Structure 1
Amino acid sequence: MAFNPDEAAIVSLLKRERFFRDTSQWDKCRDEFHPDARKTFINVSWFQGDADDFMKQSQRRPTVEQAIDIDHFIDPVLIQVNGNRAISDSAIFITRAFDYSGHEYELGSRLRALSRFVKVDGEWKMLSLEAIYIRDRLISTSPIAPKENIVLDEEKMAFPKEYRWTAWLMSIGGKVTPRNDLPRNGKIEEVRMMVERNERFLEDAS
């Protein structure tokens, strides 16, 4: 397959954006998105809105300095370019280390992420980041703290299995109310509509 500089630039953009977010480099993270926040849209477990508000809210959430480690590993699987527009479909794995009742645990979440892009002054910028939840898991990183020590009550069990532990961890943090309507693997029609919406955006490139 011939080298495509646009595809390579978008892969680099996607990886940079997640890296800057994980390392709290907010100005650099914001620069990966379209300069006009009104044209941007982000929909993830704890947030729905534009890029400016996403940066502000992200800075209020726990960071590495507050003893909560979050790492995103992104693999852009499919990138399609049409003129000055592009879309991507990526696999993401998120790990999050945290303490609970004096023991160490790690949450692992597998997602699919859809994004739209447009060229601004010759450079690709992100317009959107929409997550589709596939599954998550909670493991103990200490032999004296098995996962079975954490019991989900009836309310937490009501969350979809694709992000049940993610919702539990959000709930014990107390700052964000978990959503029960996130795009997920079990809602095939909604996922298909998201994909088709991005494909229409690509087709409408000037």
Structure 2
Amino acid sequence: MIIIIRNEGTDMLFEKLETSTVNVMLDKFAVKELIEFERFCRDNALWDQMHECYTKDSTVTVSWYKGDGHGFVNASSKMKTVAPHKLNNTLVWLNDGKAAAVCMASIQTRKEINGVKMDLTSYVRLVYTIVKEDSHWKIASMEAIYEKDCLIPASPEDMKPNPNSRDSYANLSKVIGSDGYEIDQDLAGDDRPELREALLARVENWLVNSSTKM
């Protein structure tokens, strides 16, 4: 059972959201886009762009870091563990040039422990304060409320994938391949950075060149 203790002065975060004007809608979208882009930068090592998401005096408090926002970006760039984020719903409350937001998310990490590939999934609610600076929204603080986590083998012992399968979709290859389908082993994936970057470059080229075909 989850018990939420509400203190005086915090009622605004529990009020029904109202999007009464186009400007409110646009500001809410901009805040949501900022949150998603900051996490996208974190997952794709876009460190310069990630710095731009934070105010100069921003703060971050998460499991492994507590300090200023730009220090968080620098520390993230040095991490050896890959931990991509999957974002779900994001709620945004506005008050003049300030915003508070709550983003439901999961953080996924694959790590070999005692010779076994394990998947760690942490479920969190990311809580943000965001301010408008010169018409641009920026993150003033980010903190996490931790809900639960789970640690499971990447593959059941009796369903080990073919050792020649790609790590990014080895289990998919095993399951779908068992139905007789031939699985392409040259698809874009994080385990083949050259294929991933080629795909992204092709899409970017299509976006900026009107005569280019995919």
* TM bucket normalised to smaller: 0.5 to 0.7
Which runs of structure 2 are paired with 1:59-98 in the superposition (5 Å)?
Answer: 59-62=77-80, 68-98=81-111
**Structure 1: tracts of 5 or more residues without a match:** 63-67, 147-206
| TM-score normalised by length of structure 2 | 0.61
TM-score by length of 1: 0.63
Question: Any stretches of 5+ residues in structure 2 without a counterpart?
Answer: 1-18, 160-214
Larger Rg: 2
Q: Does the CA contact (< 8 Å) of 2:32 and 2:90 recur in 1?
A: no
Q: Write the mapping of 1:43-192 to structure 2, written as runs, cut at 5 A.
A: 43-62=61-80, 68-144=81-157
CA offsets, 1:26-58, max 9 Å, x none? 111111111x1xx21100000000012111211
Structure 1 residue 102: deviation in Å? 2.3
Given that 1:11 and 1:76 are in contact with CA atoms closer than 8 Å, whether structure 2 keeps it comes out as: no
SS at 1:40 equivalent: strand
| 1: CA distance, partners of 2:158 / 2:85 | 25
Q: Which residue of 1 aligns with 2:188?
A: none
Q: In structure 2, what is the equivalent of residue 33 of structure 1?
A: 54
SS at match of 2:102: strand
Question: Percent identity between the aligned chains?
Answer: 30
Point out which structure has higher relative CO (alpha carbons under 8 A, 6+ apart).
Answer: 1
**Are 1:6 and 2:27 an aligned pair?**
yes
Higher share of residues assigned helix: 1
Q: What is the root-mean-square deviation of aligned Cα atoms in Å? A: 1.8
| Superposed CA offset, 1:56-94 (max 9, x none) | 2112211xxxxx431112234321111111110111111
May I ask how many residue pairs the two structures share in their alignment?
Answer: 138
What's the secondary structure of 1:24's corresponding residue?
coil
2:76 partner letter = S
Structure 1 runs of 4+ aligned residues shifted over 3 Å read none
- Partners of 1:77 and 1:70 lie apart in 2 by 20
